[in-house]
Amino acid sequence: MKKNLETICIHGGWSPKKGEPQQLPIYQSTTFRYETSEQMARLFDLEEEGYFYTRLQNPTNDAVAAKIAALEGGVGAVLTSSGQAASFYAVFNICQAGDHFVTSNTIYGGTYNLFAVTLKKLGIDSTFVDPEWDDDRIRAAFRPNTKCMFGETISNPGGNVLDIERFARLAHEAGVPLIVDNTFATPINCRPFEWGADIVTHSTTKYMDGHATQVGGAVVDSGNFEWEAYADKFPGLTTPDESYHGLTYTKAFGKKAYVTKLVSQLMRDLGSIPAPQNSFLLNLGLETLHLRMPRHCENAQRVAEWLEQNPKVAWVNYCGLPGNKYHDLARKYLPNGSCGVIAFGLKGTREDAIRFMDRLDFVSIVTHVADARTCVLHPASHTHRQLSDEQLREAGVAPDLIRLSVGLENVEDIIADLQQAMA
């Protein structure tokens, strides 16, 4: 039976049978028992599905991954121990030393650093493009060794909305998949596969968890990219893997080739698996994602409208505002709302911004975003402090930008707190 998102939030990934626990159990076990040596051998040869060691697969983790895959409309998903690990694995699964990829420059600061610094040390080069460039200028960034394209549905912290369909077209013209970080929109508000994206990543630390209890990530495979059509670009998927007895992922796993390789190679060798306890907590968050997202959006819309009319505020970027630069893209990709995160700047100096934040009452200063509690951050002095003013602007982050993550409190109370701190 085909289910709607609200039902998947509650029931996805875990269907207990007679006498089994109604709530997803925490399989807090490193290992799983078999009766014969032959049974175990078949698992190692990937000839049979089953559990043997939690670094590769664990029933709690898998149930939550299956829920996220269903929410996104993908064929499979893998949970990772952080969103950073998800971004790394998503790219590293198809790029190796000597390869290149193209990425939007309006992305999360941690991802920017991963791409601009750390992956380069591994010999994986990237070109940052401004999504506002015209098609030809973006096309010029592709090279013969380009293996994928990357963007964020709604960028953290700038709040820019990605034209997913256009990015997918440009990626596919070049014969490579589009990877989209869908953390801020969540599948409740946008499902990038419906617009042509091939792979979706998440920091589940944010709205999916929603209560700031665990750090985690996910990579979801749409199963749509035709790896075999570009076989020479993706030898890791289309030629025998000597570390797996000469098995070829596209032949053995078809639509699940990418996600299976990610588990059997990257998880095996790098091991960024979440603790089952964390996946359990994430699952509790997912059970109410469909209720929380609309309220985040409703509250943020009210706060954004209030900020826009406030004489102390220099500018507001929230795609729900009719005059916003991204309003049309938001109406297309995010018709039911975007997220609770607003970017704005106060009139005055950097110090005024800091003084404002210091005077807030229940609205807290934290290196976190997208959960039940309203919070603020000044990226230029916190998360992005390693970037120069020029790099900040390149990443779509104005030096005076305050990131306000609107939570689930009473919206009048949120506005009252902002107002007293501005006064």
Q: Which residues bind ligand PLP (CB under 6 A)?
A: 82-84, 87, 108, 110-111, 152, 156, 181, 183-184, 203, 205-206, 215, 217
Residue type, 155: S
Cβ at position 92, least distance to ligand PLP in Å: 15
Q: How far is the CB of 369 from ligand PLP (least distance, A)?
A: 6
Query: CA nearest 29: which of 287, 267, 273?
Result: 273
Instruction: Report the C-alpha gap between 190 and 39 in whole angstroms.
Output: 42
DSSP, collapsed to helix, strand or coil, labels residue 76 as strand
Query: Residue 45 CB, nearest distance to ligand PLP (Å)?
Result: 33
- Cβ(161)–Cβ(338) below 8 Å: yes
Nearer to ligand PLP, 93 or 260 (CB): 93
Nearer to ligand PLP, 156 or 238 (CB): 156
Distance CA 368, CA 262 (A): 28
**Cβ nearer to ligand PLP, comparing 182 with 238:** 182
In the complex, least distance from residue 215 CB atom to ligand PLP, rounded to whole angstroms: 5
End-to-end CA, the chain = 55
Identify which of residues 108 and 193 has a Cβ nearer to ligand PLP in the complex: 108
C-beta closer to ligand PLP: residue 83 or 320: 83
Q: Please, what is the minimum distance in Å from the beta carbon of residue 143 to ligand PLP?
A: 25
| CA atoms of 230 and 224, how far apart (whole Å) | 13
At residue 338, what is the residue type? S
Q: Which is nearer to ligand PLP, 58 or 153 (CB)?
A: 153
For residue 200, the tally of other CB atoms under 10 A from its CB is 31
CB of 84 to ligand PLP, least distance (A): 4
Question: Considering the complex, what minimum distance in angstroms separates the CB of residue 152 from ligand PLP?
Answer: 5
Q: How many residues does the chain have?
A: 423
Q: Residue 156 or 338: which CB sits closer to ligand PLP?
A: 156
CA torsion 25→26→27→29, rounded to 10°? Answer: -160
Nearest-CB residue to ligand PLP?
83
Write the CB contacts of 109 (distance below 8 Å, at least 6 apart in sequence): 156, 157, 379, 383, 384, 387, 395, 397
Which of 84/146 has CB closer to ligand PLP? 84
Tell the smallest beta-carbon distance from residue 314 to ligand PLP (Å): 24
H-run or E-run covering 319: none
Using an 8 Å Cβ cutoff, are 62 and 32 in contact?
no
Our CA angle for 3, 261, 221, nearest 5°, is: 30
